[in-house]
Structure 1
Amino acid sequence: MIEFIINILIGGLLGVFGGLLGIGGGLFAIPTLSILYGMDQQLAQGTALAMVVPNIVLGIYKYNQRNKIEWKTAAILGLCAFALSWFGALIAIDLDHRAMREIFISFLIFIAIWNLLQMLGKRATTGLRDLAWPYFAGLGAVSGFLGGLFGVGSAVVATPVLTMFFGATQVVAQGLSLAIAVPTTAATLVTYSMHGQVNWATGIAMAIGGVLTVSYGVRAAHSLPQHILKVIFSVFVLISAALLYGQL
C-alpha cells in the first residue's frame, strides 16, 4: 500500500511536468523508473506509457480549453504518426537493452541541443503556417516512428519542429504535439504490453497521480513566457540524459 501511494506521488510530480511541457510526463518517467526501480530500458518505456496515455488525453482537453487546437491539422499529424508508431515499437522491443538506452540518451541530448539552438535563433512565431498537408504528414510519420521507438519521442520531436519551421507558438505546438502523441502512445503501449514490457501496477498508480496534477502544469504553461518553457524543457531533458548515462 505504501509503495502504491509513493507511485501516485511520483506520478503526480511527473504529471505537472508533462502538462507544463506538453509531453505527458513520460520523458522524465523513463529515467525515474530506470533509476528508482532498476527497470531495463524497454520495461521502463512500456511502464511509462501506461502512465502517459491518460495524462495526454487530459492534457489535450486542457490545452484545447485554453487555446483551441486545429483539429484538421491534428488529425493529419495523428493518423500518420499512428501508421509509423507500430514499426518503431517493434524495433525497440528487439533491441539490446544497453544499446536501446544508449540510443535513447543520444536522442535526449540531440533534442535538448536542438531546442536551445532554436531559442538562440529567435525565429518569429507569428502563427501556424498554412502549409500543404504533406508537410504535416511527414512530420507526423517521423514523430510517430520515434514515438514508437522511444515511447515519448512523438511529442518531443514535433514540438520544436512546429515552432522552428511551422511558425507555431510554443503553447500551440505543445497542444498539437499531444494530439500526435495519443495514437502513437496507445499503439506503442499495446505493442509493449503484448511483449510483456509493462509493469501495470506501477504504471497505473503513476497514471492516477498524473491525472490529478497534469492540469496544473497546463495552467502554468499558459502563464510562463515561451523562452522560459524552452529553458525548462532543455534543462530537464539534459538532466534525464545524465541520470540515464550514469546507469550504463
Structure 2
Amino acid sequence: MSLIDLIINLSLGIGLGTVGGLFGIGGGLIAIPVLGVLFGMDQQLAQGTALVMMVPNVMLALWRYHQRNHLELRHALPLASMGFVFAFVGAGLAVNLPAGAMRVAFIVFLLALAAYNFSRLFVTGATHSGEMRHGWPWLGVLGAAAGSLGGLLGVGGSVVATPMLTSLFGTSQVVAQGLSLALAVPSTSITLLTYAFHGHVNWPQGLVLALGGLLSVSWGVHWAHALPERLLRGLFCGFLVICALILCFKV
C-alpha cells in the first residue's frame, strides 16, 4: 500500500468511524457501498473488509455508550447471544450467494429500512420510560432476526435492532443504539471470521480503516448524545438512502 493509499484509507476510516459512532452502527453501512463503488470490490469482499473496521469500532462505541447510559446486562445478553448464533448462519449463507444478487438485496434492505425509519418520524409515540416493554424471550427473537440479517449483509444487525428497540420495546434512540452495539460486537466478530475463512477480506485495507475509525468513533458518540432525538432519526434515514444510492452505481 502506497503512502497516498494509506492516507486515503485512514481518512476514510476517520469519516466512517464518526458516522458509526453517531448512529451506533460501526460504520459498515457506508463502508460497504464505498468499497464497492470506489474500490471496485464485489459485494462479499466489500462486506468482509468493512467488518475488519467494524469489529474494533463497535467495541469502542459500545464502551462509550455504556459509559453514558449504563446498558443493562439482562437486556444486552439475550440480544448478543442470539445475534451471535444466527449471525453465523447468515454469514455462512452470504459467502455462497452470487455477488450481484447480494448487492441488490443490500439495496432493497437499505431502502426498506429507510422507509420504516422515515415513517417513525411522523408517529407521535409514547414517552420513553426507564423500563423495557418486553424482555426475554422477545429480545432473543430480535437478536436472532437482527443477527441473521447482519451476518447475511455484513452490517452487524444493529441497523435492524435500533428501530425495533425504539418502536416496539420503548427505548430512547441512544439507548437503542447502545443495546444494538451490544448485539453487534459478537455478531460482527463471528461474521468476520466466516468471511475471512472464505477469503472475502482485504486485511491491509481493513486494518487501516479500523485505525481511522478508532481515532474518531468517540466523536460520533458525543454528537449522538448532543443532537435532538428526532433530528438523529431523520439523519439516520437520509444516511440509509444515500448508502442505497451509492450502491445503485454498481448494479
TM tier, smaller: over 0.9
Give the whole-Å Cα distance in 2 for the aligned partners of 1:230 and 1:124. 16
- CA deviation digits over 1:81-132, x for unaligned, max 9? 1111111001111110100000000000000000011121121241242424
Could you list the runs of 5+ residues in structure 2 that have no partner in the other structure? Answer: none
Contact 1:5–1:205 (Cα < 8 Å) also in 2: no
Give the whole-Å Cα distance in 1 for the aligned partners of 2:177 and 2:128. 16
1:216 to 205, 209, 219: 219
1:76 to 75, 78, 81: 78
- CA deviation digits over 1:53-95, x for unaligned, max 9? 0000000111011111112210111000111111100111111
What secondary structure sits across from 1:120 in the alignment? coil
Identity rate of aligned residues, in percent? 50
- CA deviation digits over 1:214-233, x for unaligned, max 9? 00000000000111111111
Give the deviation of 1:6 after TM superposition: 1.3
2:137 to 134, 152, 169: 134
Q: State how 1:106-121 maps to structure 2 within 5 Å.
A: 106-121=108-123
Structure 2 residue aligned with 1:197: 200
Give the deviation of 1:15 after TM superposition: 0.3
Contact 2:75–2:135 (Cα < 8 Å) also in 1: no
Structure 1 residue aligned with 2:61: 59
Could you list the runs of 5+ residues in structure 1 that have no partner in the other structure? Answer: none
Give 4+ residue runs of structure 1 displaced > 4 Å after superposition: none
Count of aligned pairs between the two proteins:
248
Give the whole-Å Cα distance in 1 for the aligned partners of 2:86 and 2:224. 29
Give the whole-Å Cα distance in 2 for the aligned partners of 1:246 and 1:221. 30
Q: Which moved more, 1:225-234 or 1:213-222?
A: 225-234
Amino acid at match of 1:101: R
Give the whole-Å Cα distance in 2 for the aligned partners of 1:136 and 1:167. 12
Q: State how 1:1-248 maps to structure 2 within 5 Å.
A: 1-127=3-129, 128-248=131-251
Give the whole-Å Cα distance in 2 for the aligned partners of 1:236 and 1:93. 26
Contact 1:24–1:56 (Cα < 8 Å) also in 2: yes
Tell me the TM-score normalized by structure 1: 0.98
Give the whole-Å Cα distance in 2 for the aligned partners of 1:147 and 1:75. 17
Contact 1:125–1:163 (Cα < 8 Å) also in 2: no
Contact 2:83–2:183 (Cα < 8 Å) also in 1: yes
